[in-house]
Structure 1
Amino acid sequence: MVDSPATAVERADVVVVGARCAGSATAATLAGAGRDVVVLDAAAFPSDTLSTHLLWPAGLAELQRLDALAAVEALGAPRLTTAFAQGAGYGVGSAFPAVDGIDYAMCVRRTGLDAALVRTAVAAGADVRPRCRVTSVVWDGNRCAGVRYLDSAGRVVEIRAALVVGADGRRSTIARAVGAEQPFLTVPSGRDCYFAYWRDTADAARHIAAQWREGADLGTAFPCDDGLVLSLVQPPAVAGGARGPGAAERRYAEALARIPDLTERLRGCARVGRVRSATGISSYFRRSAGSGWALPGDSGHFKDPVTAQGIRDALHYGRTLAESVVEVLDDPRALDAALTEWERRRITECREIFHWTNRLARGEAMRPLEIELYRTAVDDPELAEITTGIFSRTRRPAELYTPARALRLAGSALRHQSTPAVLADLARELRDATGEWRTTRTTLRGTVPRSAAPFPPRATLTTAGPGEHHA
């Protein structure tokens, strides 16, 4: 875009594109530290976005660090104090591990959650501007130096800033503008995702976050605000995502019918609204930092919703991005070094849960070792505690399959199940572990592969609108 007399030019320390989880966390932290922050979003708030919005204790702890937890709790979602998981007929209940004193989960619809986060950013001093659509980034040589956008009146405005933060979701305009849209690691999901809200019954157990595995299907029931329960199903993916009129309704109903205990949980509930869908999902890492720009949230890293990690990571890495750069925004060389280190830290911290998520997202029937894990966990509270801790990010996946525990599970599986099936599963487990180790040591070693380094384009890019999908 060529400057014209009609183009207004402003200056700020940081411009954040996207005002939802990652964007508000970044903005609130920087503004609270005294930095001049402008936040742009094409939407107005309150407004919804495609998301299944379960917050484990670690996610609620992030809200607490932002001083947003009280406002989110006021939305009325119940505290979920029990995690229940059932697979192959074995049901396991456990408490949630405490994170910063928070030992419960919550399922809060995004309309209220995001509006509360925007209010938090504004209260911290950020200048949040809704209905503003970013059209391009501004370059100073090879350095990102700001953005141009259309304001709510259709005027072209340019903001120059030391840092441009693209917190604008999976279809990130900023990622595309800086040449980072193509991930350097992509793992397609084996599941499609369909969800709907139901009006819960008066006698429902609204303190339980529940998940069921039945064959290759996975389903959940998470009580949320306004007396509703969010029920999600993730059947195996089908080619083309089963698009077309009525496809989402049909696939949702078919999956529910295959999970009888979830159907029973919803007995007496009345569905509210339409079935929503997310198909063709892939987990990925993108190049997430460069000279004068960064991509927290889904814009830089995304995991399948099967493990419900998106909101926590958006809040956490938005906040830590801000903490990493707040003191060095006036020194370009120090700023770039801080951005590089922040990106490295996210890769190293997320790679294990990335592998774990991709396993659960395969869309396959439960394997012998998985079945044995559920069977054993019924009488072994430590297993249930570790598993819940993995989802809450207080325990590591490696703690579940230690060599000693894996041997015990394999021995038990051989007593209860088909020997050839167990041996085949053990062989596959070894291949999977080897493949994950190799990926960790190469693609996810903590530095972005040189081939993933983007070269800033000079053409103006017009956004198709921010997209966000958290779980």
Structure 2
Amino acid sequence: MVDSPVTAVERTDVVVVGARCAGSATAATFARAGRAVIVLDAAALPSDTLSTHLLWPAGLAELQRLDALTAVEALGAPRLTRAYAQAAGYGVGSGFPSVDGIDYAMCVRRTGLDAVLARTAVDAGAEVRSRCRVTAVLWDGNRCAGVRYLDAAGRTGEIRAALVVGADGRRSTIARAVGAERPFLTVPSGRDCYFAYWRDAADAPRHIAAQWRVGADLGTAFPCDDGLVLSLVQPPTVSDLGRGPGAAERRYTEAIARLPDLAARLHGCERVGRIRSATGISSYFRRSAGPGWALPGDSGHFKDPVTAQGIRDALHYGRTLAESADEVLDDPRALDVALSAWERRRVVECREIFHWTNRLARGETLRPLEIELYRTAADDPALAVITAGIFSRTHRPAELYTPSRALGLAARAAVHQWAQLPAVLADAAREIRDVGGEWRTTRTTLRGDASPATPPPSTPLTLTTAGPGEHHA
């Protein structure tokens, strides 16, 4: 593809590609610091995007830091004040740990959420342009120096900037252009993801975020705005032969049928709209910073939606990227040091929840130690609070599986599941192997050192496609 002649060349401090969660958080933070920011998005805004959009208290705290929480709450999603998880017949309920005074969760559909975030960036002083597709990254030697793009009228423009931020999702145009598209760590998910909205029943418990597990299936019900409830299922992944026309409808309805308590929660509800699907998912870390460029959000790091961490991390690392880079934006050498430190910080802070997410995303039948964990947490409020806190990042997974607690779980599992003692012992041995493998990965691949990326070209690289946007859980 050959671009038409450039009709305009602009200069700004920061150009952000992608105007959704990570992009708007980055833009708003830079703009409030007095920096000139232009945001480009290929989509018409506001618009929907593939996302399961549950926000734990930590995610809502990020909206509060951006001064966007009040506007998001005005969209009408209920406050979810209780978490409930059920497996093997054991139900675990708890409140949410408080983050910056917020002790509730919310499930907010992306069209409204993203519109609020883009408006927040504009109100902070950023310029947001929709239907502008980036076609090339511009270079000054080996340094990223801007982008070339096509606007809605088909005109080609160039924006020169001290920093190019790729907040354009898993299929990131910017990641591809700077040679960072291939992750340095990838873990395929063992689950597919299907979700749909339902018109909630009048007597539904709209203050509870609920999850059910039966066998290898997992399903959720999260009340959201406009009187709807988002119901997601994650059955074990299937080969391509199990997909094709009608597969999403079939797999979604079959999974709900295998989750009787989810089916009961949806009784009296009317499904609204089509079933959405995300298959072939992998969690990953990409190289996320280099000379003049950075990748917050899914463009640089993605976790399976089973733990619903994507929006929080997009907001958090978009904001902290801007906070890290603002004061050194005019000094290329200092900027590169700051970007590298920001990248290392994200790896270090996210690696434990990355491992935890990958465990839950295996798509396996409930293991003996998992069953015992649910059995114990059903009668232990402190354990239930720790579990809820892991999802909101106020507790670490290591607090759940301390050596003494893991030993106790194994002992109780042996007593309660005596008939399956070989399976209990095999599960305990596997747990030891898993912990060892995660430790090795943490000390090697995820130790926080930058992974080398492919050297960028010395001339502008023209691309024919742009990423379709962010997919967050």
* TM score, norm. by length of structure 2: 0.98
1:125 aligns with 2:148: no
Aligned to 2:287: 287
Aligned to 1:245: 245
Q: Distance in 1 between matches of 2:427 and 2:409?
A: 12
Instruction: Kindly state the Cα deviation for residue 388 of structure 1 after the two structures are TM-superposed.
Output: 0.3
1:97-116 residue CA offsets vs partner (Å, 9 max, x unmatched): 00000000000000000000
* Equivalent in 430, 453, 470 of residue 428 of structure 1: 430
Q: Distance in 2 between matches of 1:250 and 1:53?
A: 23
3-state SS of the aligned residue for 2:369? helix
The code of the aligned residue for 1:68 comes to A
Q: Distance in 1 between matches of 2:295 and 2:332?
A: 17
Instruction: Kindly state the Cα deviation for residue 299 of structure 1 after the two structures are TM-superposed.
Output: 0.1
Aligned to 2:89: 89
The code of the aligned residue for 2:431 comes to E
Q: Distance in 2 between matches of 1:43 and 1:4?
A: 21
Q: Distance in 2 between matches of 1:440 and 1:5?
A: 48
Instruction: Kindly state the Cα deviation for residue 463 of structure 1 after the two structures are TM-superposed.
Output: 2.1
Q: Distance in 2 between matches of 1:295 and 1:149?
A: 18
Q: Distance in 2 between matches of 1:454 and 1:30?
A: 28
How do 1:167-316 and structure 2 match up within 5 A? Answer: 167-240=167-240, 242-316=242-316
Q: Distance in 2 between matches of 1:440 and 1:263?
A: 39
| Closer/same/farther in 2, CA of residues 455 and 204 from structure 1, 3 Å limit | same
* Equivalent in 441, 444, 462 of residue 443 of structure 2: 441
Q: Distance in 1 between matches of 2:160 and 2:65?
A: 29
| Closer/same/farther in 2, CA of residues 120 and 225 from structure 1, 3 Å limit | same
Aligned to 1:16: 16
Aligned to 1:78: 78
5+ long unaligned stretches in structure 2: none
| Closer/same/farther in 2, CA of residues 48 and 31 from structure 1, 3 Å limit | same
Instruction: Assess if the C-alpha contact under 8 Å between 1:241 and 1:279 holds in 2.
Output: no
How do 1:314-333 and structure 2 match up within 5 A? Answer: 314-333=314-333
Instruction: Assess if the C-alpha contact under 8 Å between 1:240 and 1:280 holds in 2.
Output: no
Percent of aligned positions with the same letter in both sequences?
84
The code of the aligned residue for 1:463 comes to T
Q: Distance in 2 between matches of 1:208 and 1:3?
A: 51
Aligned to 1:405: 405
* Equivalent in 463, 469, 472 of residue 470 of structure 1: 472
The code of the aligned residue for 2:428 comes to L
Aligned to 2:362: 362
Q: Distance in 1 between matches of 2:111 and 2:375?
A: 39
Instruction: Kindly state the Cα deviation for residue 244 of structure 1 after the two structures are TM-superposed.
Output: 1.5
The code of the aligned residue for 2:12 comes to A
| Closer/same/farther in 2, CA of residues 172 and 5 from structure 1, 3 Å limit | closer
Could you say what the CA RMSD is over the residues aligned between the two structures, in angstroms? 1.2
Q: Distance in 2 between matches of 1:295 and 1:307?
A: 21
3-state SS of the aligned residue for 2:161? strand
The code of the aligned residue for 2:49 comes to T
1:172-193 residue CA offsets vs partner (Å, 9 max, x unmatched): 0000000000000000000000
Instruction: Kindly state the Cα deviation for residue 419 of structure 1 after the two structures are TM-superposed.
Output: 1.4
Instruction: Kindly state the Cα deviation for residue 462 of structure 1 after the two structures are TM-superposed.
Output: 2.1
Instruction: Assess if the C-alpha contact under 8 Å between 2:5 and 2:156 holds in 1.
Output: no
3-state SS of the aligned residue for 1:327? helix
1:63-85 residue CA offsets vs partner (Å, 9 max, x unmatched): 00000000100000000000000
Q: Distance in 2 between matches of 1:208 and 1:468?
A: 26
Q: Distance in 2 between matches of 1:5 and 1:248?
A: 44
The code of the aligned residue for 2:220 comes to T
The code of the aligned residue for 2:85 comes to A
Q: Distance in 2 between matches of 1:241 and 1:34?
A: 53
Count of matched residue pairs: 469
Aligned to 2:46: 46
Instruction: Assess if the C-alpha contact under 8 Å between 1:242 and 1:248 holds in 2.
Output: no
The code of the aligned residue for 2:438 comes to E
Q: Distance in 2 between matches of 1:36 and 1:139?
A: 20
Q: Distance in 1 between matches of 2:468 and 2:52?
A: 17
3-state SS of the aligned residue for 2:323? helix
Q: Distance in 1 between matches of 2:454 and 2:470?
A: 22
3-state SS of the aligned residue for 1:77? coil
Instruction: Kindly state the Cα deviation for residue 465 of structure 1 after the two structures are TM-superposed.
Output: 3.6
Q: Distance in 1 between matches of 2:423 and 2:225?
A: 44
